[in-house]
């Protein structure tokens, strides 16, 4: 028996069984890049609620920056990027938070939440490079990567824990206690777990397009990753999330090639008056 060939089949069957028995709403769909996805473990409203709860948990654990200028700078880039999201997203107010954290990282969550570490501002050296970061993270939300992760993660016990978390969010202390007993919301939801390489590559595609549509130079995405690689080499430790990201050299080559095809979109955005002045 060819075990290598049977493993993906068994994995797909396991997902199908979980979806059929516990989560009748699970479905197979296709991302904007043509990739097959298993989604629907929870409803969009529930996913947004989980994202909001995870964001609140993070804000309770990390220190927020008191630098109003830096926060306004990040907010300006966030607003420009999310203004290009398809309806109904533009009607949603996205909340952002700037955390005091030297690690060069950022994240976006369902429910319109974006977190940025101050350390990323040492690597993203201009507004276009920060837009590449924000666009990438928003791309994860837009392409339903959190939905994918939580759907794949939800076995029988996982489903019970997620339901407990949702109960805690909706019904107060008694429900929250059940959620706490079930485990950390961040761990259960899988919101901050590293994406797969496919998801990371997909977020690159979507994020680079978003930044061009918002009037940020898409060529700066490749420069950002050059800075990121250089920064990770200074202390001899690559960021933990780089282990799940595409090969850096291949990634930069793909970003450079894609940037050329996005220049007409960038030029159109600039001609239409989308000229962000965040820095």
Per-residue model confidence (pLDDT) at position 184:
55
* Cα angle, residue 34 at apex, residues 32 and 38 outer, rounded to 5°: 90
Q: Is 137 in the active site?
A: yes
Residue 111: which region, alpha, beta or left (left: phi > 0; alpha: psi -120 to 50)? left
Q: Look-up: residue for tokens 């965040």?
A: 278
Partner residues linked to 115 by β-bridges: 97, 107
Whether 210 contacts 276, CB under 8 Å:
no
Lowest mean pLDDT among 23-37, 77-91, 243-257: 23-37
Between 124 and 187, residue with greater pLDDT: 124
- Comparing 246 with 199, the larger pLDDT belongs to 199
- C-alpha distances (whole Å) from 267 to each of 94, 126, 168 are 26, 19, 48
| 217-246 confidence digits (pLDDT tens) | 999 999 999 998 888 765 444 454 455 566
* Selected catalytic residue, list 95, 137, 148, 240: 137
CA distance 251 to 274: 27
- Are the C-beta atoms of 225 and 252 separated by less than 8 Å? yes
* Residue 143: Cβ within 10 Å count: 22
pLDDT at residue 150 in the model: 80
pLDDT digits (tens, 9 = 90+) for 141-183: 999 988 888 887 765 455 556 655 555 555 444 434 433 444 4
Sketch the domain layout of the chain as residue ranges.
21-271
* Lowest-pLDDT range of 1-10, 126-135, 138-147: 1-10
User: Is the bond leading into 269 cis (omega within 30 degrees of zero)?
Assistant: no
Query: Which pair of structure tokens corresponds to residue 91?
Result: 């009607």
How far apart CA 185 and CA 168 sit, in angstroms, is 10
SS (HEC) of the chain: CCHHHHHHHHHHHHHHHHHHHCCCCCEEEECCCCCEEEECCCCHHHHHHHHHHHHHHHHHHCCECCCHHHHHHHHHHHHHHHCCCCCCHHHCCCEEEEECCCCCCEEEECCCEEEEEHHHHHCCCCHHHHHHHHHHHHHHHHCCHHHHHHHHHCCHHHHHHHHHHHHHHHHCHHHHHHHHHHCCHHHHHCCCCCCCHHHHHHHHHHHHHHHHHCCCCCCHHHHHHHHHHHHHHHCCCCCHHHHHCCCHHHHHHHHHHHHHHHHHHHHHHHHCCCCCCCC
Whether the Cβ atoms of residue 223 and residue 231 lie closer than 8 Å to each other = no
Q: For residue 197, what pLDDT is reported?
A: 83
Q: Is the pTM of this model over 0.75?
A: yes
Sequence-distant (6+) residues with CB within 8 A of 62 are: 99, 100, 101
Instruction: Dump pLDDT digits (tens) for 13-63.
Output: 444 444 444 445 567 888 887 888 878 877 888 888 888 888 998 999 999
Q: Would you say 100 and 62 are in contact if contact means Cβ atoms under 8 Å apart?
A: yes
Q: Which two tokens stand for residue 7?
A: 């493993």
The single residue listed with the structure tokens 């493993």 is 7
């Amino acid at each position: 028996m060819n075990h290598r060939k049977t493993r993906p089949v068994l994995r797909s069957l396991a997902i199908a069984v979980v979806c059929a028995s516990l989560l009748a709403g699970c479905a197979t769909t296709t991302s904007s890049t043509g990739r097959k996805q298993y989604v629907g473990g929870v409803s969009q409203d529930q996913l947004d609620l989980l994202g909001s709860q995870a964001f609140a948990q993070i804000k309770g654990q990390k220190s927020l920056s008191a630098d109003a200028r830096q926060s306004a700078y990040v907010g300006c880039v966030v607003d420009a990027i999310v203004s290009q999201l398809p309806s109904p997203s533009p009607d949603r107010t996205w909340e952002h938070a700037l955390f005091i954290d030297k690690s060069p990282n950022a994240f976006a969550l369902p429910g319109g939440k974006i977190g940025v570490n101050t350390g990323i501002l040492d690597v993203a050296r201009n507004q276009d490079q920060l837009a590449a970061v924000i666009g990438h993270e928003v791309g994860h939300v837009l392409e339903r990567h959190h939905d994918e992760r939580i759907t794949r993660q939800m076995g029988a016990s996982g489903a019970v824990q997620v339901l407990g978390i949702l109960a805690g969010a909706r019904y107060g202390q008694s429900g929250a206690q059940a959620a706490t007993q079930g485990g950390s919301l961040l761990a259960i939801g899988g919101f901050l777990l590293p994406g797969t390489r496919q998801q990371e590559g997909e977020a690159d595609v979507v994020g680079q397009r978003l930044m061009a549509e918002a009037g940020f130079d898409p060529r700066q995405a490749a420069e950002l990753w050059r800075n990121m690689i250089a920064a990770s080499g200074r202390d001899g430790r690559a960021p933990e999330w780089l282990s799940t990201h595409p090969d850096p050299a291949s990634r930069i080559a793909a970003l450079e090639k894609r940037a050329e095809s996005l220049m007409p979109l960038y030029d159109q955005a600039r001609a239409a008056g989308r000229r962000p002045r965040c820095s």
